[in-house]
Each structure stands twice: as C-alpha cells, then as structure tokens.
Structure 1
Amino acid sequence: MTTVRPALDPELRALLDDMPLMTHLDLELLSQLRQLPSVPVESLLEGRRIDHREITVDGEGGARITLSVFSPSGADAAAGEAGAARDRPAAGAPCVLWMHGGGMVMGDRFSQIDIPLEWLDRFGAVVVSVEYRLAPEAGGTTPVDDCYRSLLWVEEHAEELGVDRSRIVVAGVSAGGGLAAGVTLMARDRGVPAIAAQMLVCPMLDHRNDTASSHQYSGGPGVWTREMNAFGWRSLLGGLPGAEVPGHVSPAVAEDLSGLPTTYVDAGSAEVFRDEVVTYATRIWESGGQAELHVWAGGCHGFDALCPRAHVSAEARRTRDGWLARVLSPVE
C-alpha cells in the first residue's frame, strides 16, 4: 500500500514546524500529556455575554457525568439567533451537544470548545459539552453511553435550558466526532430522542485502522498517526467483553446507516481519517440519507483547531457555519 502522502497546506506546514509532534502513544506518554493544563475556558468567555454553569447527570453504575452548559445571556441571545434565523420559534434556541477530541484517551469538556462557542455567538445556540469518561480506565461502551445519557438529559431539560427540542444537534471533533456518530446511531436505534443533525469534524470512526490514508500516516511524526490511532482504539476496546465491536462504538462497522439525521462530515486530505470519513458519507448516501462531505486540501488532522487563523481553517469554519445556518433555520 502506498505511503506517498498528499502535501500539507503550505501555511499549515509552516505552523506545524513549530509544534512538537509524536510518532506513537503509550501509557507513559499518555500520563505526561494528561498532566498538561486544561484549556483556560475563562479566557474564551472573557468579554462575551455567556452564562456558564456546571451540572452533573447520572451515568452507568452510579457514575456522575459533568456537563458544562453555555447559554447566551441578555440581549445577546436574541441578537445571536437573529444572525441565522430572525423568526425564532417560541419553543426556544437551538442546542449543540459537544463531544471533545483526544483519541478517546485524553482531553476534557473544554477541549476545542472555541468551535461550538462560535455557534453560540452566531446562532444563539445553547452549548452543552460532555465530560465523558476516558479509556483505558473507562473503555468499551462507557464513553458513548456517557454522551447518550447527556443527550437524554438535554432533551428532558429542554424547557429549563430554553432549547427547542426540534433543533438539537450533536457534534464533535476527532474522537468526539466518532462519539457523536455513535450517539446518533444509538438515538436512531432506541427511538429517542430526535436529533436534527450531526456534525462530525475529522471523526474517529473505524477501529480497523486499515485504510490507505491510515497507512499513509504511519511511521513518522504527526498530529495523529496510525500508531497513535491504534493505541486509542486498543485502549477503548479493551473494555469490551467480547470480540465483536458494536457500531455504536466504531460507527464504521454499523451495518445500517439509514434513518440518520442530516449529516456534515469533513476531514483533511493529509490525515489518517480521510478515507474512513469519505466511506462513511458514501454509505449514508447509499442508504438514502443526506450528507455533506468536505475534504480540505492539505489539511492535517484537527487543522482548524490547531491553526484556526490559517486560511484553510477559516474556510472550513465558514463552511460549517453555513451548513448549520441552513439546518437550524426554521421551515416556513
């Protein structure tokens, strides 16, 4: 299988030259990475009229799942919503349930939170970010279960949150994108709750880790390599009792992708997840569903979170915003 790689976007390449990149991940390195300070969410909220509160919901086996809830405050709520839909339904605001990235093994509910906070600013969306439990300590179905229980909490508390139940979007980046896909499959299979759309940003979808793009990004340093991906999946799947991996955990192996809500999915051309993302979108189309797919030329994994000021990053964010504006606009 070819190991020739698509070239990185020149602007991204220059920025990545100054970043420490790794070839692999193991328990020792994971322990060191987890000791790095969390994202200072206060700096992101400074100067913005956003109400922020922390709540906990019940998880499996008596565990407690922490959710961060961000809501537009005061006049900004109406102003933000007006940017996308001036005839806001009386039922309430849109809501984004956000799942962070980190290969299933690291990160927290504030990781990449700047992405959904932009949707709060633009659309007046309530953002709920999930502190799902991490592998390997909590593997198997635990992370996706935590996210699904969080979705149920949002639906049950829609009035309290000021949320329109018909405009709940699940979204995530990398591992969080995979969890968003898994949660959407769970909601479809269990019949509750209704999800308006799913946004999967460079999602981690396939535990088999055997696509052409996976092999292309093996054997050298990178943002997320095939070897790092294998560690993340091993850590997660070690919590499964049997050999069969359910589609809720590894969405690429789900036999049926019919009946899913409208989907946005993207990736960079220069990353491990490129091919599994393209295949997932194709299978949604083959099942009669609606998906919008973007493969950003020269984009590495997580490029717009790592380098938000790069031109390709700005274009990727604008494109997602445009799609969300269409999805969240009320039907006349």
Structure 2
Amino acid sequence: MMINRRSVLRRGGVALGVGLGGMGLSSLGIGGLDFASAAAADPLAGVDPELRAGAATVLAMGAKLSPLTTARLPILRGGGAAMAGPLRPDVPVEARKIAVGPGIPDVTVQVINASSGAGSRASGGPRPAILHTHGGGFVAGSALAERGYLQDFAHALDCVIVSVEYTLAPEARFTRSVAETYAGLRWLHDQAEALGVDRRRLAVMGESAGGGHAALLAIQARDRGEVPLVLQVLTYPMLDDRTGSTVMPLPGIGKLGWDAQANRFGWESFLGATPGSRAVPAAGVPARCARLAGLAPAFIAVGGIDLFVDEDITYARRLTDAGVPTELLVIPGAYHGFDRVVPDASPSRRLIAARLAALRRAFGQPAG
C-alpha cells in the first residue's frame, strides 16, 4: 500500500485507519492545509490540547539547545539524565560488563528483571526478553538513565530487559556503537539460561535514535543469522539521514523535541559524513537498507507532527511491501518524545497500550 503524506495533506484534513502487514489495526491521523499554515506561524497550533503543557516545556528546552552543536552537548546530555525516574524496589537491576570484539573495550549493559535461571513469576518457565537501545539523537542519552522506565516495561510484561550503554557520537562513529549494541543482543541470546530467558522470544526495542539502533539490530540479526527475533519495536525511530538535509519537512512538522538542524548534527556525528550526501555509509542508516525482506515483524509508532513522521511511514510501507508484518501507529497532534514528557495524557496512554499489546502478542502472552 502506497502512503504519501504530502499527497494526503493536499486533500485537506482526514483521519485514516490503515492495517499494515496484518499485525493489527493502525491509525494514521493527518492534518490538512489549514493546520500547515497555522503551525508555520505557531509551533503549538497543531499540538493535541492534552500535550500542550508539555510542548511549552519542550520549546523552552529547545531554545537552550538551538542550534545544537558540540559545545551544547553537555546541556542536552544533562537534560536527558534529569528525566530519569526513581527505581522500583520490586524489579532488580544489575550492571554487567560484556565483551564486544577486537579493538573495542567491554561495554556496560543494564540487566533488568533477570531471574538467575529461575522462571517467570507467572508460569515458572523462562521469560521473554528485550534488548533495548536508548534514544538521544545518537549524541546523548544513557542506559543508566533509562532504568526506571524499563523497570515498568519488565514488570508489565514479566520479561527481562538488557539495555546497552553504547558509546555516543561524535566521540565514536556508528561502527563502534552498532558493534556494541549487537554484542549486547548476542550476549542476551547466549546467556539465556543464566538469565532465565526464553531465546525463542527475543525482541529489540528503542526510541528515537534508539529506534534507529533497534532497526539496525534487526537488519544485523537477519544478515548474521545468529539471533532470531520475534519483534522490532521502533518508537518514533530516527531512520533516515536525509530528513532535514535533502528532504525538508512540511511547515509545522518537526518543530518540537527534535528539529531539522539537530537531526543534521546527530546524523553527521554518528556517520562521520554529511547527511543526505553520497558519502553516507548505507550500513549506518536503516532507511538506506536496500532489502528489507526477512526482517523481524515490526511495530512502529510516531507522532503526527514529529520530524520523523514521513520517514517512519515510508519505512513501514517498505517493510509491508517486503512482506514483513508491520503495525504502524501515527498519533495526531503528537510531537517527538511526547509520551515521555506527558505520560498520563490520553495520546501517550494510547501509544503505551499499543506498544505493550504488540509485545504481548509477539511473546504469546494474554492481553493485559
């Protein structure tokens, strides 16, 4: 099914329900020309009313970072750490060092809800597991700061989660961080018995740049044939270096949370090449992968005014065209990272519920 967001916009405001790949009902909410013209003047014009208070906070933070440069990275990195919530006492967390490969130091992983070879609390058998990669535009964020967030996932799904503290750009290019995240996935698979994990029920998951890393992991898992995956969970994933460089967003898109200039900076830091140019190494960009057939089933969610909305819809369509079961959820009026900023708003709850439901289906668990 061909979905072109620009052609839909020209037809005015609509809301489409689209099933991609047979994994379930997807919702694609798209504004019209009135929204585009209004949002060009006011970045809050297209924001869902329940998300506006959080949007004002995001705008204030963006003003401190714009334009995003290496000199401003400490502000971005500090802001991400400030979002970390308190740890739950009922879900264990342990930091481990694991080997990566020749020439790369051991990497730290946060192991959440491991059961030391015991089974799940529900069945007594081995648990499903998720390899998680954190967001932050490839240049910020940390697995350490995500522990509380991931404890909630582990508790809700009765699963084990391993989150990789991959080396950030521009200190390291994509070849190193991709090697580190794949080492985490391979370690999770190899240590399944010790962690109480069912290696037949492994998923990868990430948000923003972490969604880009998770997509790259799904490609590597297919190509290497070492770790079978049941699902790739990509939340507003950063998939295409051309967004904001050779492909510019429509007015009102990508003004909150992560903009075109920040995207160019993040991709150049990650790839070591000018985004959108012929020098870009395709191995570091999921959207530049020529063959998507054979990848793990996918769940993709993105906000309707997120900078990544076009590239995420396009990737979902390409996966579907390649025969990969894919569920796409587009939340109208939602900006980048909205569910982390205003988690109790109904658009956020909708995303959270859909994501958990997709994981439960992949893990063979009853509906929550």
| TM-score between both structures, scaled by the size of structure 1 | 0.87
Distance change in 2, residues 1:154/1:226 (3 Å): same
- Partner SS, residue 300 of structure 2: strand
The counterpart of 1:95, out of the listed 129, 151, 158, is 129
Q: Which of 90, 101, 105 matches 1:63?
A: 105
Deviates more, 1:244-253 or 1:146-155: 244-253
Contact 1:182–1:247 at 8 Å: present in 2 too? no
Is 1:308 matched with 2:347? Answer: no
- Residue 77 of structure 2 is matched in structure 1 by 34
Q: Structure 2, unaligned stretches of length 5 or more?
A: 1-5, 7-32, 40-44
User: Is 1:155 paired with 2:189?
Assistant: yes
Tell me the CA shift for residue 113 of structure 1.
Answer: 4.2
Match of 2:16 in 1: none
CA distance in 2, matches of 1:66, 1:165: 21
Cα distance between partner residues in 1 of 2:128 and 2:113:
10
1:15 aligns with 2:54: yes
Q: Report the residue type matching 1:17 in the other structure.
A: A
Residues 217 and 225, structure 1, Cα contact 8 Å, conserved in 2: no
Provide the rounded CA distance (Å) in 2 between the counterparts of 1:97 and 1:37: 20
Which amino acid in structure 1 is aligned with residue 361 of structure 2?
Answer: R
Counterpart in 2 of 1:250?
285
Structure 1 pair 40–310 and aligned structure 2 pair: CA distance change class (3 A): closer
1:196 maps to which of 224, 230, 245: 230
Which amino acid counterpart does residue 33 of structure 1 have in structure 2? Answer: L
Matched-pair contact (CA < 8 Å) for 2:54–2:342? yes
Q: Higher mean Cα deviation, 173-182 or 50-59?
A: 50-59
Is 1:185 the counterpart of 2:219? The answer is: yes
What do the CA deviations read for 1:237-273 (whole angstroms, capped 9, x no partner)? Answer: 1179x95434441100100010011110010001100
The worse-fitting range, judged by mean Cα deviation, of 260-269 and 10-19 is 10-19
Work out the CA distance in 1 between the residues paired with 2:161 and 2:243: 31
> Comparing 107-116 with 250-259, which one deviates more in the overlay?
107-116
Task: Name the CA distance, whole Å, in 2 between partners of 1:309 and 1:40.
Answer: 15
* Counterparts in 2 of 1:37 and 1:176: CA distance versus 1, 3 Å: closer
Counterpart amino acid of residue 284 in structure 1: L
- The alignment partner of 1:309 has SS state of coil
Confirm whether residue 119 of structure 1 aligns to residue 153 of structure 2.
Answer: yes
* Native 8 Å contact 2:112 2:150 kept in 1: no
Query: How many residues of Structure 1 are paired with residues of Structure 2 in the alignment?
Result: 318
Letter in 2 for 1:57: I
Which residue in 2 is equivalent to 1:209? Answer: 243
Per-residue CA deviation, residues 209-251 of structure 1 (Å, 9 max, x unaligned), is: 1587735367x952100111111001111179x9543444110
Q: Which residue of 2 aligns with 1:49?
A: 90
Change (3 A) 1:320 1:310: same
Cα distance, 1:309 vs. partner? 1.3
* Residue type of the alignment partner of 2:110: S
Q: Is this contact kept in 1: 2:173–2:271, CA < 8 A?
A: yes
Say whether the 8 Å CA contact 1:267–1:273 is kept in structure 2: yes
Q: CA deviation at 1:139?
A: 1.1
- Whether the aligned pair in 2 keeps the contact of 1:105 and 1:136 (CA below 8 Å) is yes
Is 1:329 the counterpart of 2:364? The answer is yes
Give a deviation string over 1:115-134, Cα, whole Å, max 9, x none. Answer: 43222112211011110000
Residues 260-288 of structure 1: per-residue CA shift (max 9 Å, x gap): 11110010001100010000010011011
Identity of aligned pairs, percent? 34
* Native 8 Å contact 2:243 2:249 kept in 1: yes
Distance 2:250 2:233 in 1: 26
Opposite residue 299 of structure 1, the aligned amino acid is A
Distance in 1 of aligned mates of 2:193 and 2:82: 30
**What is the CA-CA distance between 1:289 and the residue it aligns to?**
1.1
Secondary structure, counterpart of 1:261 in structure 2: coil
| Counterpart residue identity of residue 277, structure 1 | D
How many angstroms apart in 1 are the aligned matches of 2:279 and 2:180?
A: 21
Match of 1:287 in 2: 322
Q: How does 1:258-297 map to 2 (within 5 A)?
A: 258-297=293-332
Tell me, yes or no, if the aligned pair for 2:205 and 2:234 is still in contact at 8 Å: yes
| Structure 1 Cα separation of the partners of residues 209 and 173 of structure 2 | 13
Structure 1 pair 35/295, CA: closer, same or farther in 2 (3 Å)?
closer
Q: Point out where structure 1 has 5 or more consecutive residues left out of the alignment.
A: none
Question: In the aligned structure 1, how far is the partner of 2:47 from the partner of 2:99?
Answer: 43
The amino acid across from 1:18 in the alignment is: T
TM-score by structure 2 length?
A: 0.79
Q: Work out the CA distance in 2 between the residues paired with 1:269 and 1:315.
A: 14
Q: Tell me the distance in 1 between the aligned counterparts of 2:77 and 2:261.
A: 19
Distance 1:300 1:285, change over 3 A: same
